[in-house]
Structure 1
Amino acid sequence: MLDQLEHLKKSFEPCLPRGRAYDIVAYMVDATLKQLTTGSSAPITFNKDNFVAACHESHDPGQVDASKWVPKSQALHGALQRLQVNLGTGERVVLHEQVGGGRGNTNQYWLALEEKNTEQASGQQPPLDLDIHYRQTAKGEVKPFFWLRWVFREGELRNRSPKGIFFLSSLFLLSVAWILLFAVGVLGAYVSNEPLTLGNLTRLAVCVLSFYFVWRLVYHPWWQLIDHRVVLAPGGAAAISENPCQLEMYRHGTEKWTRLVRFTADCPLCGGGIELARGKPDQRQSLVGRCQESPHSHVFSFDRALQIGTYIGPPLPMVLKRRDL
């Protein structure tokens, strides 16, 4: 057990993949190694509060709902399995879980050593669960860009407030002005008597490309928000230090609100982090969840209302379904 854990730790230490499932697995490996090096043979057990205290940025289980923050067991199994893909056959480190029953009895986790095909041979391999649950950031957690901080107080905006009406009306007028400016530029080039030269064609091409990119990256997402309710945040909306995030329009009572938010999940196949991204060209949905470790293979649907999704990527190989990598 000690040799296998040391070999496993050396394999992922230089470049541990992103994702809280990998952080938790690395913590379990490190803590188990420390106990085994003291001469103790009893397995060290962990609970979700231990994971929060060791891996969450606050390191305070009292401030975090551990049941929501810790990934599902499927993601932890996937992360541990992926870290051992290149370690050869024979014995491997596996994750065991004892589900707690009743109030105050929490789930217990520990690492053990088993032959690689023990679970398949005994018929105890659990079915592969390909459903995911998205997490949503708290109000104000995603910071807006400095020029929008006066609008998105605490990260959200009431659409029919004076500030909301002014801001959304300004976006509408700027969009119309941008379209008119483009139309005037193209019409001016058409009615001018200047000969068609390479310079004129270059200026026209620059004008068209500039209009397209500014419209696509800045103005168009705000218009999409009306129908889609969740869109990728446009350029200049979130602070530069923020990771990719989204704009969401939601109803609270009789009012509509707009806020900056981030939806994430854990990949049940490999344990990587899932973020929302464009569905095209391989998916019909406008937004899908893509695993950061395999964005075009590990693809999941996104249901904003229920904050759940399921696997919609290409057919899975049988070896992955059997968890026999």
Structure 2
Amino acid sequence: MSIAPSLMTVTSRITAQAASPEHPANGVERGFVDLQDVVLAAHRLDALAARWPERKLLNVAVLRALLLLVQREPGQAEEGFDAWAIAAAVGTVIGRKWATGDTRDEISAKVRDQWQRLTSQTWPKKEEGIHQHFRDSGLNLVPTLSREEGGGQGNPTRYRFRLQHLPESDAGGTEQDEVGTVASAVSGRAPEQDVPGRDARVTYICEDVEDASWLARSFAQGFQLAGWRRLALRSAFILGILTVALMALLIPLTVVTTRSPGDIANAVFSAVVFGYAFWSTLGTLLMLHRWRIALAPWWMQSVDDDRLVEWRCPPRHADKSIKAVRYAARCPLCGGKVVACSGGMRHSWRIVGRCEEAPAAHVFAFDHVLREGNRLL
């Protein structure tokens, strides 16, 4: 079902607004192109939200309802829509009536509750991927959500959809374009001449970690390296290293105090087991300070072993943290999904992008800073 307004409808609304002297000025100029940008942005975001694993949640339905209203009435996006309009649009999104039989106050409370969940839980996890998607699509604007509290019966709370310029931390197109230009000059070909085959390239999108366990959830949301969290992580490292060191000391002590081959073998076995347990649990986190990104340990992993841990720090990011992430792209060869994962024996100590349809044949390099990669196989 197409929910974008027709060109004639959009044009008529723009003409009416342009002729209205009392139309307020705002952060986005209300010309023909800009209103088209609003519709296009809402349509793109709705298409993204329709593919989220959380798409069946009510707070995502509220977001898609707002996007539906924005596509129908783009000129109203800046002023916002009231809770009753959004509740009615939710019924269109989910295919059944929602909040029917409730009073206006009850409907308003339900929309407010779902909006709070959207802006505090779902949106922060998706925001980075949304920004990158819009940037990679050639748009220098990204959507933002806001709520303006009303006061009284005649001034209801309104939920707004706005466009703003990409933050400087996300608008890395200039630097990446310069790098791509240099690489193209060295290789003797223009970036736009890349075709599926040996010179195929992929662009990775950072996705939030889905269905994280309770232990990994703090890293999925970003483990801030400050305060008690930093102290707790450091204590875990120190305790683990001391335990492995003490177990390793048992080997020479056992050799000195006893000649029994069985006792020596037990000491060696114990040291190996504790060392492996420490490395598999915390070893990859120790590598982050040097490599900045690594495979997530087993207790963070999914069934597909495609979760990574990334060290984030200024100036690329606002603060210092360790975040569990997942990078994915579209395969230019077959259209399948490429995910960043272990390089295996052939690409040891590397993270590569493997196509889910042909994981052994369609393999790409992975650069978590530029978020792109050339074909390796």
Percent identical across equivalent pairs?
Answer: 22
1:269 aligned residue (325, 328, 333): 333
* Gap change, CA 1:310 and 1:66, over 3 Å in 2: same
Report the 3-state secondary structure (helix = DSSP H, G, I; strand = E; otherwise coil) of the residue aligned with 1:146: coil
**TM-score, with structure 2 as normaliser:** 0.46
Whether 1:225 and 2:292 are equivalent positions in the alignment is: no
Shift of 1:304: 1.0
1:176 aligned residue (237, 241, 260): 241
Shift of 1:284: 5.7
**Counterparts of 2:131 and 2:286 in 1: how far apart (Å)?**
37
Which sections of structure 1, spanning at least 5 residues, go unmatched?
1-46, 73-125, 314-325
Quick check: 1:226–1:249 contact (8 Å CA) kept in 2? yes
Residue deviations 1:143-173, cap 9 Å, x none?
6542455x54x711221x2123212211321
**TM-score, with structure 1 as normaliser:** 0.52
Shift of 1:307: 0.8
Residue identity in the other structure for 1:223 = L
Which gives a bigger RCO, structure 1 or 2 (Cα 8 Å, sep 6+)?
Answer: 1
**Counterparts of 1:300 and 1:66 in 2: how far apart (Å)?**
23
Other-structure match for 2:307: 245
Whether 1:135 and 2:205 are equivalent positions in the alignment is: yes
Whether 1:155 and 2:221 are equivalent positions in the alignment is: yes
Shift of 1:137: 1.9
Other-structure match for 1:294: 358
Which sections of structure 2, spanning at least 5 residues, go unmatched?
1-42, 68-122, 138-193
Shift of 1:257: 1.4
Residue identity in the other structure for 2:288 = L
Residue identity in the other structure for 1:300 = F
Quick check: 1:249–1:258 contact (8 Å CA) kept in 2? yes
Quick check: 2:244–2:271 contact (8 Å CA) kept in 1? no
1:207 aligned residue (258, 270, 294): 270
Other-structure match for 1:187: 252
Residue identity in the other structure for 2:311 = M
Report the 3-state secondary structure (helix = DSSP H, G, I; strand = E; otherwise coil) of the residue aligned with 1:283: coil
Corresponding pairs, count: 205
Quick check: 1:244–1:262 contact (8 Å CA) kept in 2? yes
Other-structure match for 2:298: 235
**Counterparts of 1:148 and 1:56 in 2: how far apart (Å)?**
20
Shift of 1:242: 8.6
Question: Any residues of structure 2 matched to 1:94-113 within 5 Å, and which?
Answer: none
Other-structure match for 1:258: 322
**Counterparts of 2:132 and 2:287 in 1: how far apart (Å)?**
34
* Gap change, CA 1:275 and 1:213, over 3 Å in 2: farther
Residue identity in the other structure for 1:244 = D
**Counterparts of 1:173 and 1:189 in 2: how far apart (Å)?**
24
Residue deviations 1:79-120, cap 9 Å, x none?
xxxxxxxxxxxxxxxxxxxxxxxxxxxxxxxxxxxxxxxxxx
Other-structure match for 2:5: none
* Gap change, CA 1:180 and 1:290, over 3 Å in 2: same
* Gap change, CA 1:127 and 1:237, over 3 Å in 2: closer
* Gap change, CA 1:54 and 1:164, over 3 Å in 2: closer
* Gap change, CA 1:284 and 1:53, over 3 Å in 2: closer
Shift of 1:204: 4.2
Residue identity in the other structure for 1:250 = R
Quick check: 2:365–2:374 contact (8 Å CA) kept in 1? yes
Quick check: 1:264–1:276 contact (8 Å CA) kept in 2? yes
**Counterparts of 2:363 and 2:349 in 1: how far apart (Å)?**
11
Report the 3-state secondary structure (helix = DSSP H, G, I; strand = E; otherwise coil) of the residue aligned with 1:288: strand
Of stretches 291-300 and 58-67 in structure 1, the one that deviates more from structure 2 is: 58-67
**Counterparts of 2:234 and 2:46 in 1: how far apart (Å)?**
49
**Counterparts of 1:144 and 1:272 in 2: how far apart (Å)?**
24
